[in-house]
C-alpha cells in the first residue's frame, strides 16, 4: 500500500506545481501604461485604506503584483515623464521641472521612447492624456513614435484661469503668471480641437480619455499595441463628471478617485470583452507624489515624508501595480526597489525589441515580476531635482540625503478648496536613513553608520562624473542636450 501511496502523492504534488507554473508568454504581448498625475502612495484603497473605495484598482492588484518600493526619477511632471518614456534619468536627456507652454526646450526627437522602440516591432501605438514633453508640433507625441494622440500638451493648471475657476480678464497684471498662460488646448494628432476654458470642461477629461483609450484597444485588437493613458487627474484643478459628483461622501477628491477607479475598470472590461486580458501587460502608476499644499484637493503619502517637488519619499515613492495573467503571479507584493526608468527595458524584453541606441539607465525587472527567488535587479537609485542637483542617493536599505535647499510642506497650513498654501524652500542638511526601519525618514543615523555614509558618498561621486551635479559644480560627461524650441 505504501508503495502505491508514494507515487500517487508525488503525482499530486507535480500536478499542483504545474497548475501554478507560469505559462509561456505570447510572442508580442500588448502593453498598457496608466500614468496618474500627482497620485500619492496613500491614495489607493489597496495601499492605505482610504475613505473612498477603488474596487477596480483593488481587483487589478489582486490579479497582479503590488510594488511597495517603486520610484520615479524626479518628483515633478516633465522630468518624471521624460524618464518614463526614455528609460533614462531625466537629467541625462536634458529635461527638468515642469515645462511651461512657452518652454524653450523639449524632449529631443533623437531620444527613443517606449513607443518608438515598440513601433519598430510592428506595434500600433496610441497615447491619450497629458504629454508635457514639448507643446509645439515638432515635439508632440506623433513625432515621438505614437500613431495617434488625444490630450493636453501640458498640465491642466497651465491655463489663464484663477484658482476659483474664473478666467482672468486682465492678463497684464504683474505677478499673475497664470493669467499670462495661453488658452489650454485639447489636441488631436497635432492640432487643437477644443479649448478647455472652465472647470466644467475639466470635468469631462477623465471620461474623454477613457473612451478614447477603450476605442483604441477595440480598434487594434487584431494587432499588438502599446497604449499610454496619462490622466490629467489627480493634478489640480481637480474636477469630476456628474457620474461621480458627491458619490464618495468624502468631498471632491474622493469623488474624483472613484471616477479614476471607474476608468481603470473600463479598461479592464474592454480587455475582457475583446479577449485580450491574458495577453496584455497593464501597468498602473503615478508621475510623483501629492501636491500637499492644496490640502483637501490633494492626495496623501500614506505617512511618507513631504510630497511632490521634494526628494523625500513622499515625492518620489509612488503606487505601482502590474497585471499580466498567467505571467505575473496574482495577489503578490514586491518589496524590492524598482523605478519608472526600468519600464522601457523590461517592456522591450517582453516584446522582443532592441534597446535604444543611446545609453539608458533603466534595468530589466522581469525577475521581480516573475517572483524569482533572490532577484534584486535594482539596488541603487540617484535622486536628482531642480535643473541638475543630486539631492539623495539610495542603495539597498540606505538613503543618504545630501545637503541642499528643498521644498517643505511642514511650516505652513495647506490651502483649501483649490487654493494653495505656501511651500517654502529650506536648508536640508545631510542625513542618513534606514528605509527598512524608518520609511518616514524621521531618524538620522549617520553618526551610527559612518561607513555607510562614506560608501554612499563614493557612489554619489560616480553619478556626478556621469550626470553632473549643480550643487558641487560638476558638469557630467554623460548628459545629452534637449531640443531647442524655436
Quick: pLDDT tens for 396-413: 999 999 999 999 999 999
Q: Determine the pLDDT at residue 421.
A: 97
- The pLDDT value recorded for residue 486 is 87
Set of cell numbers at residue 374: 533572490
Residue-wise pLDDT for 205-224, tens only, equals: 999 999 999 999 999 999 99
Mean pLDDT across 311-335: 98
Give backbone dihedrals phi and psi of 259, rounded to 5 degrees, phi first. Answer: -70, -35
Name the grid cell of 198. Answer: 472652465
**What is the model's pLDDT at position 67?**
98
Reply yes or no on whether the pLDDT at 318 is more than 70.
yes
pLDDT at 155 over 90: yes
Pick the catalytic residue: 132, 231, 235, 404?
Answer: 132
Which one of the listed residues 77, 88, 214, 351 is annotated catalytic? 77
pLDDT at 387 over 90: yes
Q: Is residue 8 predicted with pLDDT exceeding 80? A: no
Q: What is the pLDDT of residue 15?
A: 40
Annotated active-site residue 334? The verdict is no
Question: Is pLDDT of 466 > 60?
Answer: yes
Phi-psi region of 417 (alpha: psi -120 to 50; beta: other; left: phi over 0): left
pLDDT digits (tens, 9 = 90+) for 52-97: 999 999 999 999 999 999 999 999 999 999 999 999 999 999 999 9
pLDDT at position 282 is 98
- What is the pLDDT of the chain when averaged over all its residues? 94
Q: What percent of the chain has pLDDT over 70?
A: 93
Average pLDDT of the segment spanning 386-401? 98
Sorting pLDDT into bands at 50, 70 and 90, what band is 432? very high
pLDDT beyond 50 at 14: no
Q: Which percentage of the chain shows pLDDT scores above 90?
A: 91
Task: Indicate the pTM of the whole model.
Answer: 0.94
In the predicted model, what is the mean pLDDT of residues 249-274? 97
Confidence of residue 175 (pLDDT cuts 50, 70, 90): low
Residues in the chain: 486
How many CA atoms are closer than 13 Å to the CA of 144, on its beta-carbon side?
28
* C-alpha span between 80 and 73 (Å, rounded): 6
Residue reference for cell 542625513: 431
Q: Other CB atoms closer than 10 Å to residue 108's CB: what's the count? A: 20
How confident is the model at residue 176, as a pLDDT? 76
Position 169 scores a pLDDT of: 84
Confidence of residue 48 (pLDDT cuts 50, 70, 90): confident
Sheet holding 184-188, edge to edge: 191-196, 184-188, 148-151, 124-129, 225-230, 30-36, 280-286, 320-323, 65-67, 332-334
Residue 297 annotated as catalytic: no
Residue 12 has pLDDT above 80, yes or no: no
Mean pLDDT confidence for 196-201: 98
Burial of 394 (0-12, 13-18, 19+ CB in 10 A): buried
Per-residue model confidence (pLDDT) at position 173 = 62
Tell me how far the alpha carbon of residue 48 is from its chain's centroid.
Answer: 18
Average pLDDT in the 417-440 region? 97
pLDDT at 5 over 70: no
How far apart CA 481 and CA 200 sit, in angstroms, is: 39
Rounded Cα distance, 84 and 78, in Å: 10
Average pLDDT rounded to a whole number, residues 380-405: 98
Least confident of 167-176, 212-221, 254-263, 442-451: 167-176
Per-residue pLDDT for 300 more than 50?
Answer: yes
pLDDT digits (tens, 9 = 90+) for 15-29: 434 334 555 555 799
Amino acid at each position: 500500500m505504501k508503495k502505491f501511496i508514494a507515487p500517487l502523492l508525488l503525482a499530486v504534488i507535480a500536478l499542483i506545481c504545474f497548475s501554478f507554473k507560469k505559462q509561456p508568454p505570447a510572442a508580442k504581448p500588448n502593453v498598457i501604461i496608466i500614468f496618474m498625475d500627482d497620485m500619492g502612495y496613500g491614495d489607493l484603497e489597496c495601499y492605505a485604506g482610504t475613505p473612498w473605495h477603488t474596487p477596480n484598482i483593488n481587483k487589478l492588484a489582486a490579479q497582479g503584483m503590488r510594488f511597495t518600493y517603486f520610484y520615479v526619477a524626479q518628483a515633478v511632471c516633465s522630468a518624471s515623464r521624460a524618464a518614463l518614456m526614455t528609460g533614462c534619468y531625466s537629467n541625462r536627456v536634458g529635461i527638468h521641472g515642469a515645462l511651461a507652454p512657452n518652454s524653450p526646450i523639449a524632449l529631443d526627437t533623437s531620444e527613443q521612447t517606449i513607443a518608438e522602440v515598440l513601433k519598430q516591432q510592428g506595434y500600433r501605438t496610441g497615447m491619450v492624456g497629458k504629454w508635457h514633453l514639448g507643446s509645439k508640433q515638432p515635439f508632440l507625441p506623433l513625432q515621438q513614435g505614437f500613431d495617434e494622440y488625444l490630450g493636453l500638451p501640458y498640465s491642466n493648471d497651465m491655463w489663464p484661469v484663477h484658482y476659483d475657476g474664473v478666467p482672468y480678464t486682465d492678463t497684464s497684471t504683474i505677478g499673475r503668471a497664470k493669467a499670462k498662460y495661453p488658452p489650454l488646448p485639447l489636441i488631436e494628432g497635432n492640432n487643437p480641437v477644443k479649448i478647455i476654458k472652465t472647470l466644467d470642461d475639466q470635468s469631462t477629461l477623465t471620461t474623454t480619455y477613457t473612451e478614447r483609450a477603450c476605442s483604441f484597444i477595440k480598434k487594434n485588437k487584431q494587432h499588438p499595441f502599446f497604449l499610454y493613458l496619462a490622466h490629467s487627474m489627480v493634478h489640480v484643478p481637480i474636477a469630476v463628471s456628474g457620474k461621480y459628483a458627491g458619490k464618495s461622501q468624502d468631498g471632491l477628491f474622493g469623488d474624483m478617485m472613484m471616477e479614476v477607479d471607474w476608468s481603470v475598470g473600463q479598461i479592464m472590461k474592454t480587455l475582457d470583452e475583446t479577449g485580450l486580458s491574458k495577453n496584455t501587460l497593464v501597468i498602473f502608476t503615478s508621475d510623483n507624489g501629492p501636491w500637499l499644499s492644496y490640502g483637501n484637493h490633494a492626495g496623501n503619502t500614506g505617512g511618507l515624508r513631504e510630497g511632490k517637488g521634494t526628494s523625500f519619499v513622499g515625492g518620489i515613492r509612488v503606487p505601482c501595480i502590474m497585471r499580466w495573467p498567467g505571467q505575473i503571479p496574482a495577489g503578490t507584493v514586491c518589496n524590492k526597489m524598482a523605478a519608472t526608468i526600468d519600464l522601457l527595458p523590461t517592456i522591450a524584453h517582453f516584446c522582443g525589441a532592441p534597446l535604444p541606441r543611446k545609453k539608458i539607465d533603466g534595468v530589466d525587472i522581469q525577475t521581480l515580476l516573475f517572483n524569482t527567488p533572490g532577484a534584486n535587479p535594482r539596488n541603487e537609485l540617484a535622486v536628482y531635482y531642480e535643473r541638475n542637483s543630486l539631492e539623495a542617493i539610495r542603495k539597498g536599505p540606505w538613503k543618504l540625503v545630501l545637503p541642499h535647499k528643498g521644498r517643505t510642506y511642514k511650516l505652513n497650513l495647506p490651502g483649501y478648496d483649490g487654493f494653495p498654501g505656501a511651500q517654502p524652500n529650506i536648508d536640508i542638511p545631510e542625513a542618513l536613513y534606514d528605509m527598512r526601519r524608518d520609511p518616514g525618514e524621521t531618524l538620522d543615523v549617520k553618526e551610527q553608520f559612518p561607513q555607510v555614509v562614506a560608501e554612499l558618498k563614493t557612489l554619489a561621486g560616480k553619478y556626478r562624473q556621469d550626470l553632473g551635479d549643480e550643487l558641487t559644480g560638476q558638469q557630467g560627461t554623460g548628459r545629452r542636450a534637449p531640443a531647442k524650441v524655436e
